[in-house]
Amino acid sequence: TSNVTTTRDSAPLLPNVKNIIAVASGKGGVGKSTVAANLAVSLSKEGAKVGIIDADIYGPSVPTMFNCEHEQPSVKQVNGKNVIVPLEQYGVKLISIGFLTPADNAVIWRGPMASSALKQFIADTDWGELDYLIIDLPPGTSDIHLTLVQTVPVTGAVIVTTPQKVALADAQKGLAMFKQPQINVPVLGIVENMAYFTPEELPNNKYYLFGEGGGLNLSEKFDVPLLGQIPIVQSIRESGDNGYPAVMKEGITQKAFTDLAETLAR
Ligand code: ADP
């Protein structure tokens, strides 16, 4: 947990941010943003100072998940330079690529545009002191991933996947990308989301709707930890849509995410 400096420039970026955690996935829709949002709120509830950058150009969901779809970050001047002031919700500072696009309009992002937005979120945003800055990346491997690793030293990456064959195959590509020598970002581990379903009336039963053991197999194949298994729970979906992360309510989902946050914080 060393302080962050750029690998390229002499001027350090984010000198007061201790850990930059990339949350990535191979496929879309596996729950990457859900994990990023709940992880951020869990870490904050444990007393850490946390920020989140939503860099998912294909489906920025942080504004919805944090119930600030209709808000806009402000801009202030520091030493004659304009800096973005992140919004703050549930103890988490946040900024989203979604704030730059009209909600009801499809904006087609070219790689360089999206990359320059991410750079601004990193370099021209008033993050202050943070223990964790979580980056919700787009699915797959893209310009955004390269920009991130070339702009700041990423402490580590968390790969989110479902146990399904098609998701695992793509997660494997994401994992391999972080491990490439020119990227060289430590993979902190895999989160298997939608791992199983337990009906309320059968609390001791686990139904492996998307298959069993996929996350574990992947973690063994790449020799990285399996950080957690998050069940499919209706309230996780509802709370995401309602802008109130599931981890804020007590119950099994809260435990799944707080366990994950504790494992990562170690
Ligand atoms: P991604 O960021 O990978 O595209 P999202 O986090 O947006 O995926 O999740 C996709 C959808 O699945 C959302 O509607 C979300 O609320 C829902 N979802 C994610 N994880 C779970 C879960 N463990 N149980 C139930 N619904 C989930």
- Which atom of ligand 1 lies nearest, measured to the CA of 56? 2
If pLDDT is split at 50, 70 and 90, which confidence band does 253 have? confident
Report whether residue 137 contacts ligand 1, using a CB cutoff of 6 Å: no
Residues 141, 177 contacting (CB under 8 angstroms) = yes
Q: ipTM, 2 decimals? A: 0.99
- Which atom of ligand 1 lies nearest, measured to the CA of 241? 16
Residue 8, domain member (yes or no): no
- Cβ neighbours of 201 (radius 10 Å): 6
Residue 266, domain member (yes or no): no
The residue whose C-alpha atom lies closest to atom 24 belonging to ligand 1 is 232
**Residue ranges with strand state E in the chain:** 17-25, 50-54, 74-78, 81-85, 87-89, 92-96, 130-136, 156-161, 187-197, 226-232
Mean pLDDT of the chain: 91
The residue whose C-alpha atom lies closest to atom 26 belonging to ligand 1 is 237
Residue 234, domain member (yes or no): yes
Count the domains in the chain: 1
Q: Which domain holds residue 141?
A: 17-261
Residue in 164, 101, 97, 130 with CA at minimum distance from that of residue 3: 130
Which pLDDT belongs to residue 104? 65
Distance from the CA of 134 to the center of ligand 1, in angstroms?
17
DSSP 147-161: HHHHHS---EEEEEE
The residue whose C-alpha atom lies closest to atom 16 belonging to ligand 1 is 237
Secondary structure of residue 107 in the 3-state scheme: coil
Residue 2, domain member (yes or no): no
Residue 181, domain member (yes or no): yes
Report whether residue 240 contacts ligand 1, using a CB cutoff of 6 Å: yes
What CATH number should be reported for the domain holding residue 185? Answer: 3.40.50.300
Distance from the CA of 193 to the center of ligand 1, in angstroms?
8
Q: Give this prediction's pTM.
A: 0.93
Which pLDDT belongs to residue 1? 45
At 111, which helix (H) or strand (E)? helix 111-123
pLDDT by residue (tens digit) across 54-106?
Answer: 999 888 999 999 999 989 999 999 889 999 999 999 999 999 998 887 666 66
Report whether residue 73 contacts ligand 1, using a CB cutoff of 6 Å: no
131, HSE (Cβ side, Cα atoms, 13 Å): 18
The residue whose C-alpha atom lies closest to atom 6 belonging to ligand 1 is 31
Report whether residue 61 contacts ligand 1, using a CB cutoff of 6 Å: yes
Residue 11, domain member (yes or no): no
User: Is 243 annotated as ligand-binding?
Assistant: no
Residue 9, domain member (yes or no): no
Residue 59, domain member (yes or no): yes
Residue in 134, 38, 139, 145 with CA at minimum distance from that of residue 86: 134
pLDDT by residue (tens digit) across 184-203?
Answer: 999 999 999 999 999 989 99
Report whether residue 253 contacts ligand 1, using a CB cutoff of 6 Å: no
